A and B are shown apart, each in its own frame.
Chain A
Amino acid sequence: MIKLSELHLGVLTALGGIALLLASAHFVPMPGQAYGAGTMPRLIGWSAILLGAFMVATSLRHLPDMLKPHLSDWVYKPRLALAALAVIATIVSYIVFADWLGFIPVSFVSLFVLMLVLRTRPLTALFASAVSTLVVYYGFSRLLMVPLPRSEFLSFLG
C-alpha cells in the first residue's frame, strides 16, 4: 500500500474538495431559501480545499522528503502482498459466485484456498474451513433465518 506524505495528502484533499464543489454545482436551493441539498457538500468541499492548502503550505519546508511516496514494508514481500490480494479475492469471489453456486461450496472453497495461501497446514485448513462454513451456515441460515445464497444445481449442498 502506498504511504503518502503530508504534501501528497494535502494535494489529494484539495483535489477532492474541488471535485466535490464541481459535483454539487447543479444542486439548487430549496424554494424561497438560500440553502438546499448543495449547502453541506459545498461546505465540505471548501473545508477540504482549505485543509489541503494548509497541508501543502506547511509541508513545503520539508519539500525534498515530501515529494517521494513510500510503500509499506509488506509490498516488498511477495508472500504478504499475495495474502492481501487473496483476502480481497475471497470477498470478490463470494460476490461473483455465491448466487450461482450457493453459500456452502463457495464459502468452503474460498476459505480453504485463503488458508492455504496464508500457509495454514492443508489438513488444518480443510477442517477449519469445513467447520467455519457449517457453523456460519447453520447460525445465520437456520437460527437467524438469513436467506443465504442457494444453488439450484447444487441444492443438495445448500
Chain B
Amino acid sequence: MLILEQAAALVFQPYVLGVILASAAFGMLVGAIPGLTATMATALLVPMTFFMDPVPAIASIVTATAMAIFAGDIPAALLRMPGTPANAAYVEDAYRMTQSGRSDEALGAALVFSAIGGLFGSFVLMTLAPALAEVALKFSSEEYFWLVVLGLSCAVFVTPGSPTRGLISLLIGLFVATIGIENPAGEARFSFGNLELLAGVQFIPAMIGLFAVSEVLRTVTATIPRQKIPRSDGHGIFKTQWQNLKKYPVQTARGSITGTALGILPGAGADIAAWISYAISKRFSKQKDKFGKGHVEGLVEAGASNNSAVSGAWIPALVFGIPGDSITAIVIGVLYIKGINPGPTIFINDPQSIYAIFMVFILANLIMLPLGWLAIRGARPLLSIPPSTLMPMILIFCIVGAFAINNSMAGIVMMLIFGIIGFFMEENDIPIAPAILGMVLGPMLEQNFITSMIKGDGNFLHFFERPIAGGLGALTILIWLLPVLMLVLRRGRKTQAIA
C-alpha cells in the first residue's frame, strides 16, 4: 500500500500531470499527420525527456505513443491516409464510413475502442509483469541469451516483407551495436580513432535519423497528390459507441487479448497486431462481405488491438529488458540514460517507479477520451497544413534534438548518416524495426553469449542444460525451422494433389 501511495505521489503532481497533457497534445499532433509514426513521436520526444526525472520522462513517452496511435485514425478516416502504420489495416473501412457521412462514428469507434484496448493492456501489464519478474529472477545468462535470440528471430519473421531483408536489417543493427569500447573485452572496435565513436553510436540521434529524417525525405519525394478534407457530418463522436460496444463485445475482448499477446512478443507491436486482429475479425464475422466497404466491426477489433499492443510491449521491456517493439526499444535506451536498468530487479529496487509507470498507463488511456474528442474536432485545420511547410519545421526539431543529447555537432552528423541509411532501407523494402532491436539487444546478446560460452567451457550444448533455457532454445530453433517446414508441407500437398 505504501508503495502505491509513493507511486501516486510521483505521478499526481502538477509538473508530471502537465508533462502528460503536453505529451498527449504532441502525440496527437504527430499521430494525426500522415506518415509520422508513434515511433517517430517517441524519437522526437527523447531529447526533451533528457531533461526530466525518470517518471515524467516515461510518462511523456507512454502518453504520446498511446495518443499517436489513436490520432493516426483521424487522417485514415478523413483522407484515406493512415497516420501511423498501426492504422493501415482498417483504413478502407474508416474512409468508406466517412464517404457515407459517418466520419464521426468511425472516429468515435477508433477513439473509444483504442481507449478500451489500452486499458485492457495496462491491466495485463500491471498483473503479469510483477509475476513474470519473480520468475525472471531465477534466469541466468543462458536464459537471457535465448530470450534475446527469440526476440531477434521474431523481429525478423514477424516483420512484414521478406525475412531475408529483415535479416539484413538485423545484421546492420547488430553491427552498429559492436562499435565502440562497450564489449566484454573492453577493446575499441570500429571507432577509427574517433573519440565520439569510442563510446559507441549515439542511440538517440541514430533513432531520430532512422525514423524522423528518413520520413522527411520520404514525404518530400512522395509522388501522391494531397486530397481535400471532408466536413464533419455532425453525428456525434460518442453517440453510437455504446451500441457498438453492446453489438461487438466478443470482438472488443478478442482484439484486446490478441493485441496484448502480440505486444508481448518481441519484435511484433501495434502495426502487426492491428493487421492480425482485422484478419481475425473478418474470418469470424457473420458479415464478411461488408469488410473493406465501410463496416465498423473490423475497426472495433483492430482499434482495440493496436492500442493494447502498446501496453503489452512494455511487459518484456520492463521484466527482461527486451523490447516488445521499436518504441520500447527506444524506451529501454531512455531508462538506461536515467540510471534505471530494466530487468526483474527493477521490481525490487525501484517498485514505486514501476507502479508510477502503471498508473501513467491508466491515466494516458483515460485522458485519451476527452483529448481525442478535441483532436477529432481540431484535426481538420491541422491536416490542411501542407507537407512543404510542415516537413522543414520537423527537420529543425530533429536537428536541435540530435544536438541536445551531447551538445555536439557529432549527434547531427550521426542523425544525417542514419537518416540516409533509413531512407535507403525503406526505398529497398528493408524494415527498420529489426535494426533497432539489433542495436538495443546486440550488447546483451554478446554479453550473455560470451558469459555462457565461458561457463560451458566452449560447449554449445551448455545452452540447453537448464530446463527453461532448453525450452526457450527449442522454441527459437522451431521458429527458425518453421519456414522450411511450411515449404516441405506445401510441396508434399502439391505432390499429393498431382498424384
| Residues in A lying within 8 Å of B, measured CB to CB | 1-4, 6, 9-10, 13, 16, 20, 23-24, 27, 30, 33-37, 39-41, 44, 47-48, 51, 54-55, 72-74, 77, 80-81, 83-84, 86-88, 90-92, 94-95, 98-99, 103, 107, 110-111, 114-115, 118-120, 124-125, 128-129, 132-133, 136, 140, 144-148
B187 within 8 A of A: yes
Residue A54 contacts which of B164, B393, B403, B427 (CB distance < 8 angstroms)? B164
B412 touches which one: A51, A95, A146 (CB < 8 A)? A95
CB distance from A97 to the nearest CB of B (A): 11
Judged by a CB distance under 8 angstroms, whether B168 is at the interface is yes
A44 in contact with B223 (CB, 8 Å): no
Query: Could you say which residues of chain A place their CB within 8 Å of the CB of B460?
Result: none
Q: Does B391 contact A (CB under 8 A)?
A: yes
A36 to B407 Cα, complex, angstroms? 33
Within 8 Å by CB of B446, from A9, A40, A98, A132, lies A40
Other A-B pairs, 19, CB within 8 Å; known A2-B427, A87-B216, A88-B416: A4-B428, A13-B171, A27-B187, A33-B454, A35-B450, A39-B449, A40-B183, A40-B445, A41-B189, A51-B164, A72-B427, A84-B221, A87-B395, A88-B420, A95-B413, A95-B416, A118-B392, A124-B389, A146-B400
Tell me if A80 and B174 are in contact (CB < 8 A). Answer: no
- Asked if A114 contacts B213 (CB within 8 A), the reply is no
- The yes or no answer to B190 lying at the interface (CB within 8 A) is yes
A sample of 16 cross-chain residue pairs with beta-carbon separation below 8 angstroms, ordered by A number, consists of A3-B428, A16-B171, A20-B175, A27-B185, A35-B184, A36-B184, A40-B178, A40-B445, A80-B220, A87-B391, A87-B395, A91-B395, A120-B389, A144-B404, A147-B407, A148-B403
Q: Which of B165, B174, B416 is A92 in contact with, Cβ under 8 Å?
A: B416
Contacts of A10 in B (CB 8 A): 164
Report Cα–Cα, A37/B180, bound state, in Å: 10
Which residues does chain B contribute within 8 Å of A80, judged by CB atoms? 220-223
Query: Does residue B242 face the partner (Cβ distance < 8 Å to A)?
Result: no
User: Given that A72-B221, A83-B221, A146-B403 are known contacts, is A3 also in contact with B427, CB under 8 Å in the complex?
Assistant: yes
Contacts of B3 in A (CB 8 A): none
Contact B189 A51 (CB under 8 A): no
Please give the distance in Å from B449's CB to the nearest CB on chain A. 8
Contacts of A48 in B (CB 8 A): 171
Q: Which residue of A lies closest to B394 (CB)?
A: A132
Contact with A115, one of B392, B399, B404 (Cβ below 8 angstroms): B392
- Complexed CA–CA distance, A146 and B413 (Å): 18
Which residues 387-415 of B have a CB within 8 angstroms of A? 387-389, 391-393, 395-397, 399-400, 403-404, 407, 409, 412-413, 415
A105 to B285, CA, bound (A): 59
Task: Look across to chain B and name the residue whose beta carbon is closest to the beta carbon of A5.
Answer: B428
Using A80-B220, A144-B48, A145-B51 as known contacts, say yes or no to A44 and B175 having CB atoms under 8 A apart.
yes
Residue B367 CB within 8 A of the other chain: no
Counting chain B CB atoms within 10 Å of each CB, which of A37, A47, A124, A147 scores highest?
A37
Pick from B400, B420, B449, B458: contact of A136, CB under 8 Å: B400
Complex: A84 Cα to B416 Cα, angstroms:
13
Are B400 and A1 closer than 8 Å at their CB atoms?
no
**Quick check: A132 and B393 within 8 Å, CB to CB?**
yes
Q: Do A74 and B391 contact each other (CB < 8 Å), given the known contacts A1-B424, A44-B178?
A: no
Q: Is the CB of A74 within 8 A of B388?
A: no
* Bound-complex Cα distance A74 to B167 (A): 27
Q: Are A107 and B396 in contact (CB under 8 A)?
A: yes
Given known pairs A51-B164, A83-B221, A84-B221, the reply for A133 and B404 (CB within 8 Å) is no
Question: Of all chain B residues, which has the CB nearest A9?
Answer: B168
CB-CB under 8 A for A6 and B164, given A41-B189, A146-B404: yes
Q: How far is the CB of A51 from chain B (nearest CB, A)?
A: 5
CB distance from A33 to the nearest CB of B (A): 6
Nearest chain B CB to A88 CB, angstrom units = 7
Residue pair A41, B178 in contact (C-beta under 8 Å): yes
CB nearest neighbor in B for A147 = B407
- List residues of chain B with CB within 8 A of the CB of A91: 213, 395, 399, 412, 415-416, 419
CB-nearest residue of chain B relative to A127?
Answer: B389
Residues in A with CB closer than 8 Å to B458 are 34
Confirm or deny: B386 has a beta carbon within 8 angstroms of a beta carbon on chain A: yes
Residue of B nearest to A80 (CB): B221
Contact status B187-A37, CB under 8 Å: yes
Q: Given contacts A35-B453, A88-B416, is CB(A98)–CB(B404) below 8 Å?
A: no
